[in-house]
């Protein structure tokens, strides 16, 4: 049960909405592939892991985000307008909730949606910080690894970088979606 609670901020990804997969997966994947193609065409992968490189620049930016996301989460939780607790109009995002052995599909309010979103963004930014530190520490070694003359490390490095950029762009796109909801949808 404890591991389920620790991973609960990632429950945002399980919200059901007709267009949410585009924000969560399609845009971030396209941006990640474009970034990977650019890295492969412009340089080699191991340069990405050097001090002052792309990953270290991303780390310096992302490491300050968890505090801002937590502040946004606190503001959403205590926001005083009562209409924030109304169900979101159609198409209404839904989430599956399991409670005491029963499975229910629950329509989300703007408060619940935004709370889940900013909890996810907080967790995602922490994971990206840890992943950045891992890549800066071990990326060059992974890149240099070969097995029987095959550059296996380059493939492993490519997969890790694709996953890294997918998470990064997922966080960025979801942040802009959250800002849209905070800036425009709450005022309707």
- CB of 39 closer than 8 Å to CB of 48: yes
- Looking at residue 5, its pLDDT comes to 84
* φ, ψ of residue 15 in degrees (nearest 5): -65, 135
pLDDT reported for residue 45: 62
> For 86, which DSSP code?
S
Backbone dihedral angles phi then psi of residue 56, each to the nearest 5 degrees: -70, -35
pLDDT of residue 1: 60
Q: Of 184, 180, 178, 186, which Cα lies nearest the Cα of 72?
A: 178
**Which ranges of the chain have pLDDT less than 50?**
none
Strands (E), the chain: 94-99, 102-107
Token pair for 145: 């690894």
List C-alpha distances in Å: 26 to 6, 31, 32, 81, 130.
Answer: 26, 9, 10, 33, 24
pTM value? 0.89
């Amino acid at each position: 049960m404890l591991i389920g609670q620790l991973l609960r901020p990632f429950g945002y990804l399980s919200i059901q909405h007709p267009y949410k997969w585009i924000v969560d997966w399609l845009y971030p994947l396209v941006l990640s592939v474009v970034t990977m193609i650019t890295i492969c065409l412009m340089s080699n992968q191991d340069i990405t892991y050097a001090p002052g490189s792309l990953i270290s620049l991303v780390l310096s930016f992302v490491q300050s985000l968890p505090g801002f996301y937590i502040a946004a989460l606190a503001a959403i939780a205590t926001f005083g307008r009562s209409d924030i607790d109304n169900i979101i109009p159609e198409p209404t995002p839904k989430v599956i909730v399991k409670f005491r052995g029963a499975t229910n599909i629950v329509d989300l309010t703007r408060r619940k949606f935004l709370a889940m979103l900013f909890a996810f963004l907080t967790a995602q930014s922490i994971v990206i910080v840890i992943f950045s530190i891992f890549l800066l520490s071990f990326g060059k070694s992974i890149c240099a690894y070969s097995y029987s003359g095959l550059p296996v490390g380059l493939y492993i490095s490519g997969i890790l970088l694709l996953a890294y950029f997918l998470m990064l762009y997922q966080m960025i796109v979801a942040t802009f979606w959250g800002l849209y909801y905070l800036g425009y949808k709450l005022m309707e």
